[in-house]
A and B are shown apart, each in its own frame.
Chain A
Amino acid sequence: MSSLVSAPAVHSLWTTAADPISKINAPKIEYGQLSPTLIVIGAAVLGVLVEAFVPRKSRYYVQAFLAVVALAAAFAAVVGLAAGGYGTTKAHIAAMGAIAVDGPALFLQGTILLAGLVSIFMFAERRLDPEAHGNRVDSFAAQASAVPGGDTEKAAIKAGFTTTEVFPLALFAIGGMLVFPSANDLLTLFIALEVFSLPLYLLCALARRKRLMSQEAAVKYFLLGAFASAFTLFGIALLYGYAGSVSYATIASVVDGSITNVDPALADTMGNDALLLIGMALVGMGLLFKVGAVPFHMWTPDVYQGAPTPVTGFMAAGTKVAAFGALLRLLYVVVPGMRWDWRPVMWAVAIVTMLGGAVVAITQTDIKRLLAYSSIAHAGFILAGVIAMTPDGVSSVLFYLVAYSFVTIGAFAVVTLVRDAGGEATHLSKWAGLGRRSPLVAAVFAVFLLAFAGIPLTSGFAGKFAVFKAAAAGGAGPLVVVGVVSSAVAAFFYIRVIVLMFFSEPKADGPTVAVPSPLTMTTIAVGVAVTVVLGLAPQYFLNLASQAGVFVR
């Protein structure tokens, strides 16, 4: 931009605002249609009050109960809205243009709520670690503010403190995730991004064991997340400069040329394609950071490894669903008119993401890092479906997100069970011979690994087949070839873990498998059930996803 904004134009920014305000219209909010988000956020606020007013002894029960009820109620609300036709015929933009209520939004919100619910079960699990001073403990630090290994921490453990704040934090994060894929203007998008990111940064720092590593992960995540947010915000500013609005619909109209009247204040920038392209790239980058696409993926392994495992499972699933939802909406609603500009770039990102995730995973020795790289490769596979730019592309991505969420949460839930004296035994060498010692746990994990690898009769195969089919039909044949090659590479390290579990001699000092409470059992059982059902009978869910695959504009 060669010229600065002219002085009168700047002046007009002040002067127009100085006109007498005769009346402020009360905003029209469709509370019913926003009820899923409102329930979750409301419960989160209530959770803060619980922290303040409920005695420490009973906080755990109250918080866990509150969270579960809120998520179940919100899910019921989503189902009610979908049944009421808000996913199809009554889909529209609510809350003064800020939030879309349509098929993809409801589908993804339902997915996030279910994934959040089974994650909350893991959060509430208190049977895995041995009791400390007669108190049951969960995966989270006794007192987050205490210095790791310090006297305060010891005193907190002795007093039986637990960080029950994780429940409202998770609810806030889920609330943000619910808004993220349904946000219909850039500012709402940004607010949602921050609402779900900030609690996650905190949650990452709260591990009971290996606290330093957990805190390091949190700091890294926070710094890089802030960095990415800055990019996003800058991109939003540029897009506003281009279109004179942050509303998706308006930007889309400017892109396709149906709005041409120029805001005099933005006379120099409106319609400048460079702003549009750079702005889109920056906003897109913020989303690619959240889904963990190469080259914005580098936080993933460190954070996945350092965060408490229930949090890892929760954010691996929830963040991905929310961010891909937002990405889909952005690409399908705002800039379908300029797909020829962004598709080649997205191709490249998808290719390096698939290959990069799969290749680097080969040399990982920690199960959590391995799953982190696996999640990167899967982000690449999902991107292949996103790029298709067809209705099938949307529905296949929606299906894949459901399949992937439950496999991931289930896999991390199994990781929480395999423990030795130092807590979770995440080094792969410790998993040798697990199949001999605990055949059931190893078999369940093997099911998840096969689903990750995309072996038929698991949800992973159905999902992968759907996205690759959509990508091929959308003209991205070479992308599919790379995807299949990456899948082959990825299969190696998934199968290697299976081989390790079933065909290696168990080590003498190997880990033991903790017997969880029904909470974690439920999480794992739901994971297996979804994996198998979506693998054996995917058609019903594919149909559901394709009914829900139309964005409102």
Chain B
Amino acid sequence: MNTENLIALLVAAPLLGAAVLLCGGRALDRVGHLLGTLLAAVSFVIAVVLFSDLVGKSPHDRTLTQHLFSWVPVEGFQADVSFQLDQLSMTFVLLITGVGTLIHMYSIGYMEHDERRRRFFGYLNLFLAAMLLLVLADNYLLLYVGWEGVGLASYLLIGFWQHKPSAATAAKKAFLVNRVGDMGLSIAIMIMFSTFGTFAFKPVFDSVGDTSQGKLTAIGLTLLLAACGKSAQVPLQSWLGDAMEGPTPVSALIHAATMVTAGVYLIVRSGVIFNGAPDAQLATAVVGAVTLMFGAIVGCAKDDIKKALAGSTMSQIGYMVLAAGLGPVGYVFAIMHLVTHGFFKAGLFLGAGSVMHGMNDEVDMRRYGALRKYMPITFATFTLAYLAIIGFPGLSGFFSKDKIIEAAFAKGGTEGWILGITAVVGAAVTAFYMTRIMLMTFFGEKRWVPDEQGNEPHPHEAPSSMTIPMLVLAVGSVFAGGIFSLGDRFLKWLEPVTGHTEGHSPISTGAITGATVACMLIGMGVAWVMYGRRDVPALAPRGSLLTRAARRDLLQDDFNHVVLVRGGEHLTRSLVYVDHTLVDGVVNGTAASVGGLSGRLRKLQNGYVRSYAVSMFGGAAVIIAATLLMRAV
């Protein structure tokens, strides 16, 4: 049997699950979650089979394609539904199906008391199908279908608790902001079609060499806009924090491990285009650097554990985008960090979910404290993921982040210094906010308060369906980076797809690693001084100007409101005015004049046969005269 025929099954299994669960009705309420998890696992098993098949082939022969059918068979506009599985897609497929299956499993416990659990699993399966379509498509149009599909799933899941106005609003916000990015992708596809006459990966990449840099820069910048929307990068970052309104497994799967990294996938997949457009590349790197600081600063000030982690996600994706913006030096490391981040950030979110589960859904860290004694497994897994994300030597994050920082310095020139130092400082801030979360949640005194119904929290360890995924992810958080880096395995695996050039940084790699570790320790130390030695006040202190701004997400919503919402309102109002006066004026005027004409002509129909006869006679005279005149002319 040809293994490439399995590719479609990767997508089909969760898609079938979504269809059955969403159309199946109440009858499936009792087995829906099991079915959804089973199909996710099926997809994962297929992924493993395909992976072992790919590994068995020679490195440059590891691309499988499957043509399913011709979608739009029009002359001059050929769109196919066909898949391409190469090392890059394979990496994503394993991450998506693997972490996805774990989070399905976790959700069985987490959503146990939710009466709409079947629907939740239907949406999760829909997400898996769309995300797999996104990374398996062999052309940009099909990728766009997956891109919109994950956007839809994200919208549905953020607003899953739609009875809460905040959740409904957050879903709408995520949807709207994502539309801006989607517009970028659709424009990029249009430019591609007009330039290359196709949007399939291979022919597009093959003809990049003959295309002007201006065109490539335009495509690159619009693709970057798309990536900013999906991956919550500045300036389209504002939706991610609010997206935490969704159930925590959703935050872990979609808004930490997989969907938000689709932007990174898009840039790396389009690496050939970006390589031909240095300006777009630089813009990408700058966006990444700005976002990594932005997210980190926001993460420092949040008291809501999920929002602090959301800031962290933004920041870590900033690292990936920065790496992707460095070109072939960084592509591999962007993806490597993406995968390790997938493990430890999903682990952190599942840990946060477990804490919330035990604390009556309380999210304010100022009301946690001392939980390490009550939730030992959660504490242990969270700690490992914590050490991984701050880049503690030997753990996953250390390897992947270190490579990105080196690559940033290797960019060379002033840019290299600025990007590199930003990345190092970012590591310090990361260590600070993550230590803060650790200390406020698991250490110190109990600051628990009863919930609105007056129930005292009784923190307890979560059921095994929740702890097992956490344990698995913790293993990944610890070892993934090391395994990938040992003998440059990950580099050799991805290189045939993304290409790679060795960077040469102006300072030695040892010095960079040392500086990074030092910065990390400083961050940890500052956090210890502020939150470990002192008591955490139950009410947040007023804080400095920066703290207050960071609590308000660095004023992003205020900025958007003043510039975009108000501006948009003014624009729509003036357009409505023009529509009412000018357009409606013309339309209504035409209608009124036709109506008036009708009323006047109607009077000719006066009911008298004599005047009818006159009209006929006159008509006959005119017709005869006109006929004769035609001959005369």
A positions within 8 Å CB-CB of B: 219-220, 223-224, 227-228, 231, 273-274, 277-278, 280-282, 284-285, 289, 294-296, 298-299, 301-302, 340-342, 344-345, 348-349, 356, 359-364, 489, 492
Contacts and interface: CB of A to CB of B under 8 A. Distances in A.
A492 B599 CA distance: 15
Given A224-B612, A281-B627, A362 B619 contact: no
B613 interface: yes
Interface string B168-191: 000000000000000000000000
Contacts of B609: 219-220, 223-224
A363 B598 contact: yes
Contacts of B604: 298
Interface string B106-132: 000000000000000000000000000
A341 B598 contact: no
Nearest to B628: A277
B599 A363 contact: yes
Chain B, interface size category, equals: 20 to 34
A274 B628 CA distance: 7
Nearest to A299: B612
A362 B616 contact: no
Contacts of B599: 363
A274 B625 CA distance: 11
Contacts of B618: 295
A285 B605 CA distance: 20
B616 A298 contact: yes
B613 A223 contact: yes
Given A360-B602, A362-B595, 16 more contacts: A220-B609, A224-B609, A228-B616, A274-B628, A277-B624, A280-B627, A281-B620, A282-B620, A295-B615, A295-B616, A295-B618, A340-B630, A341-B630, A342-B627, A345-B623, A345-B630
Interface of B: 591, 594-595, 597-599, 601-602, 604-605, 607, 609, 611-613, 615-616, 618-620, 622-624, 626-628, 630-631
Given A224-B612, A285-B619, A359-B594, A341 B602 contact: no
Contacts of B591: 492
A295 B613 CA distance: 10
Nearest to A301: B605
Contacts of A492: 591
Contact of B630 (A296, A344, A362): A344
Contacts of A220: 609, 612
B613 A224 contact: yes
A298 B627 contact: no
A128 to B, nearest CB: 28
A277 B627 contact: yes
Contacts of A285: 616, 619-620, 623
Contacts of B601: 356, 359-360
A224 B605 contact: no
A367 to B, nearest CB: 16
Nearest to B631: A341
B605 A231 contact: no
A258 B237 CA distance: 86
Contacts of A282: 620, 624
B627 A295 contact: no
Nearest to A356: B601
A227 B616 contact: yes
Contact of B616 (A224, A277, A302, A341): A224
20 contacts: A224-B616, A231-B616, A277-B624, A277-B627, A277-B631, A278-B628, A281-B620, A285-B620, A289-B616, A296-B616, A296-B619, A340-B630, A342-B630, A344-B626, A348-B626, A356-B601, A359-B597, A363-B599, A363-B602, A364-B602
Contacts of A294: 619
Question: Looking at chain A's contact residues, is the secondary structure mostly helix, strand, loop, or mixed?
Answer: helix
A342 B597 CA distance: 29
Contacts of A278: 624, 627-628
Q: Give the residue among B604, B605, B628 with the most A Cβ atoms within 10 A.
A: B605
A334 to B, nearest CB: 15
A324 to B, nearest CB: 18
A526 B613 CA distance: 37
Contacts of B611: 298
A219 B608 CA distance: 11
Nearest to A223: B609
Contact of B605 (A284, A298, A341): A298
Contacts of A359: 594, 597-598, 601
B627 A345 contact: yes
A282 B604 CA distance: 23
B598 to A, nearest CB: 4
Contacts of A362: 594-595, 598
Nearest to A228: B616
A489 B591 CA distance: 9
Task: Please list the 9 inter-chain residue pairs (A to B) with the smallest Cβ-Cβ separation, ordered nearest first.
Answer: A295-B619, A298-B612, A362-B598, A363-B598, A281-B624, A277-B627, A359-B598, A281-B627, A360-B601
Nearest to B626: A345
Contact of A341 (B597, B613, B620, B627): B627
A86 to B, nearest CB: 35
Nearest to B633: A344
A344 B622 CA distance: 13
Contacts of A489: 594
A297 to B, nearest CB: 9
A349 B623 contact: yes
Contacts of A342: 627, 630
B607 A360 contact: no
Q: Give the residue among A273, A294, A345, A349 with the most B Cβ atoms within 10 A.
A: A345
Contact of A298 (B598, B615, B624, B628): B615
Contacts of A295: 615-616, 618-619, 622
Nearest to B607: A302
Nearest to A219: B609
A285 B599 CA distance: 27
Q: Give the residue among A274, A277, A295 with the most B Cβ atoms within 10 A.
A: A295
A223 B255 CA distance: 83
